[in-house]
Amino acid sequence: MTDFPSESISKPRHRNRWLTLIAAFKLSQALLFIAVGVGAFRLLHKDVGDMLTHLVEHLRFNPESRFVNFVLDKSSLVTDRVLLRIGEVGFIYASLDLIEGTGLYLEKIWAEYLTLTITASFLPWEIFEVFRRVTWIRSGLLLVNTLVFFYLLKIVVERGRHRRGSEQT
């Protein structure tokens, strides 16, 4: 009888598709924050008002629109210091999302706790924002983050019960 190596190799462990989906969400969020950071740094030392005016003309928006005038007026508040801060915060959030997403994809316990903690810390602010002004984006983000929070909480609690049950036997 010949022992084939394939017979002794165990089947690959089943990957948790929900953790993979949450990881994909976190990694895509990281890409968004990287884009925000890069965009903010590229606008440094440039006249944001002039750039927006050219964009309005290029996209053929109505220059008499209240919204266009509002945006152009507020663009004077965007200084290099503000852009630098936006870029830094964008890269900090991107780093956190990259760490969370990678850890969740690799199904690391520390990533579950980290994501649970960070998600829980943002939920009160998201709830406040939805009550302040209801929009589809705010409501959708609140729903997604609430689902992520409760799913990760369920995983952590079940793992704790399993660990306590195995210690008692």
Q: What is the DSSP string of 90-128?
A: HHHHHHHHHHHHHHHHTT-HHHHHHHHHHHHHHHHHHHH
The pLDDT tens digits of the residues spanning 52-105 come to 999 999 999 988 889 989 998 999 899 999 999 999 999 999 999 999 999 999
Q: Which amino acid is at 145?
A: N
How many CB atoms are located within 10 Å of the residue 103 CB?
20
How many CB atoms are located within 10 Å of the residue 51 CB?
12
Per-residue pLDDT averaged across 110-123, rounded?
Answer: 95
> Which among 88, 95, 87 is positioned nearest to 27, based on CA atoms?
95
DSSP state, 58? Answer: H
140 touches 66 (CB < 8 A):
no
Cα-to-chain-centroid distance, residue 130: 18
pLDDT score recorded for residue 169: 63
Of 5 and 84, the structure prediction assigns the larger pLDDT to: 84
pLDDT score recorded for residue 10: 59
In the chain, beta strands by DSSP E:
none
Per-residue pLDDT averaged across 6-21, rounded?
Answer: 75
- Is pLDDT above 90 for 15? no
pLDDT score recorded for residue 94: 98
Q: Distance (Å, rounded) from C-alpha 151 to C-alpha 169?
A: 28
